[in-house]
Chains A and B, each alone.
Chain A
């Protein structure tokens, strides 16, 4: 099932710089998108979401951009901090799903170097 793809398995960024994590989807019925952060031995932690009626949502250092025509979303973290080092998952759901099922990407491991 490749409906949600994160093509970069890992990303290394210097502290203070911008981190850009990318996600592509194929299912045009998806209309709600989320980013989660995951540390080892913990569950995914919700970071930020965006619905398809918007193209940008911002929360502190985190901004999510949605390009519906390209079926692409990205998460920008600025400035990046060493504590941001984790695996980041994008996830998507469609309002046509009665059960609000989330479809996850495979994750990108972000390493922020001091």
Chain B
């Protein structure tokens, strides 16, 4: 079953604009991770945020986590055409050894 649900399902923006994607989940988690997937093949890890963290930055990426609302957001600032991809959140619960992925957001950045 899907733990995370991302919204929007699809997002189209112009280069230079910011892109925000949201993820909601159902159970308590140890950490939440964001991945990017190009062309429906292998995924690339972007960032991991632990349950005791509220915000994390990596380059143009900013991730927030609100455990009271069971939600996370991924912000990509000053987007580029190369950011065009699908973005997935994935959660890890305390009593499991696996990532549970959301349904993903398809981001299209137009030059």
A binds B: no
Binding site for B on A (CB under 8 A): none
